[in-house]
Amino acid sequence: MKKRDTILRSIYNVLFPVIGALFLGGIVIAAIGENPFTTYAIMIQKSLLSGGGLLKTLHFAAPLILTGLAIAITFKANIFNMGVEGQAVLGAFFAGVVGFTVKGLPPVLHIGLCVLTGMVVGMLFALIPAVLKAYFNVNEMVVTLMLNYVVVEIVKFLSQGVFKDPGSGYVSTYPIADSAMFKKLFNSDLTAFFFIALIVFGLMYVVFKYSKLGYEVTAIGKNPEFSEATGMKVSRKIMTIMLISGAISGLAGAGFLMSEKFRFTLDFSGSPGLGWDGMLIALLGSHNPVGILIAAIFYSALKTGSDYISVFTNVPKDIVGVIQGMLILLLSVKFLNRNFNLADRLKAIWKKAGSKGRKAL
């Protein structure tokens, strides 16, 4: 019975923000003078119910699944890797470099090499905050957050200098070789990268659910002192977790470059960026792998759907930004509730106000 309660609660925790955000977005759409129902219908129809749309949605979901998982594993251990964005961008950049400098490899090897480069770079970049946290107890949240800006400047410098493609009209590196590109499948946007993301998802599911590492990560997240006292070497585990997170982030960036962008530009990660989207997805999915998978697809559907609504209605595609913003706002209510018992307090105020009102009458 208890278990059902918690499942119900987690559904409520996820559904409430989603429905709330869509509702508030609907009000904005209505204010523009459009019908929110038809707008949403088009969005869903085009992104999830049509074949091509669905595959496109899945294609864009792939990097988000990965960044979501990368964040979830650290959050589960109560460590905050806010540097997923930077690790993904740096991983993508160097995967791209390998993609256009190495030539004459068969596609499978070349793709493998690029992906590996991305993962290793992501890992190495995550190593800095990991060592600082595990052995010098430096707050990882600050370090990872600040290192994102370091990445921005590094890739700007490199893509304006040594790796700049002079043939391009804007700042960009050379395009990667054909042999390093993920090929389109089924005559759609979908590439093999999505299936790589699914495999990583499967692995992480097993890690979270059935492995010793998952058990230890949960224990560390819930009570580090207990974990230390029961012989889990917490500092070493923190290193492991950060490295896994960095590798997955690097993979996300590399895959996105090799399946969608094909060259590195300064707006590669988009706005707000793969890593930040991943954070929202991890929150929406309650740090649970299956939840993250669903959330990533939902989130990606919003994005692909938005491309179509501006075609079929007068609603600008920026409405999706409004919905995302509302989603973040409503998700944070969950945290307020958990940390400050917001709902109980509101209830108490409500009751008090009610009884006063009655007295006044």
**Residues 1-20 as x/- pattern, contact with another protein by CB under 8 A:** -xx-----------------
- Which of 23, 135, 157, 210 is in the footprint of another protein by CB under 8 A? 210
- Which of 213, 244, 301, 327 is in the footprint of another protein by CB under 8 A? 213
Closer CB to another protein, 134 or 213, in the complex: 213
End-to-end CA distance of the chain: 43
Written as one string, the DSSP assignment of 93-131 is HHHHHHHHHS-S--HHHHHHHHHHHHHHHHHHHHHHHHH
* Residue 214 beta carbon to another protein: minimum distance, rounded to whole angstroms: 8
Q: Residue 242 interacts with another protein (CB under 8 A)? A: no
Q: Residue 212 interacts with another protein (CB under 8 A)? A: yes
Question: Is 115 within 8 Å of 258 (Cβ atoms)?
Answer: yes
Q: Residue 37 interacts with another protein (CB under 8 A)? A: no
Closer CB to another protein, 160 or 235, in the complex: 235
# residues contacting another protein (CB under 8 A): 22
Residues 51, 29: Cα–Cα separation, whole Å? 27
Of 68, 61, 69, 92, nearest to 269 (Cα)?
A: 92
- Which of 233, 347, 351, 352 is in the footprint of another protein by CB under 8 A? 233
* Residue 7 beta carbon to another protein: minimum distance, rounded to whole angstroms: 13
Distances in whole angstroms, Cα of residue 168 to Cα of each of 36, 60, 114, 232, 268: 41, 25, 22, 52, 15
Residues 80, 245: Cα–Cα separation, whole Å? 11
3-state secondary structure of 195: helix
**Residues 247-276 contacting another protein, CB under 8 A:** none
* Residue 195 beta carbon to another protein: minimum distance, rounded to whole angstroms: 23
Closer CB to another protein, 186 or 226, in the complex: 226
Closer CB to another protein, 92 or 217, in the complex: 217
DSSP state of 79: -
Only one residue has tokens 């987690």, namely 10
Residues 280, 347: Cα–Cα separation, whole Å? 28
* Residue 216 beta carbon to another protein: minimum distance, rounded to whole angstroms: 8
Q: Residue 222 interacts with another protein (CB under 8 A)? A: yes
Extract the tokens encoding 128.
Answer: 């800095």
Q: Residue 232 interacts with another protein (CB under 8 A)? A: yes
Give me the residues that bind another protein (CB under 8 A), please. 2-3, 206, 210-213, 215-216, 218-219, 222-223, 225-233
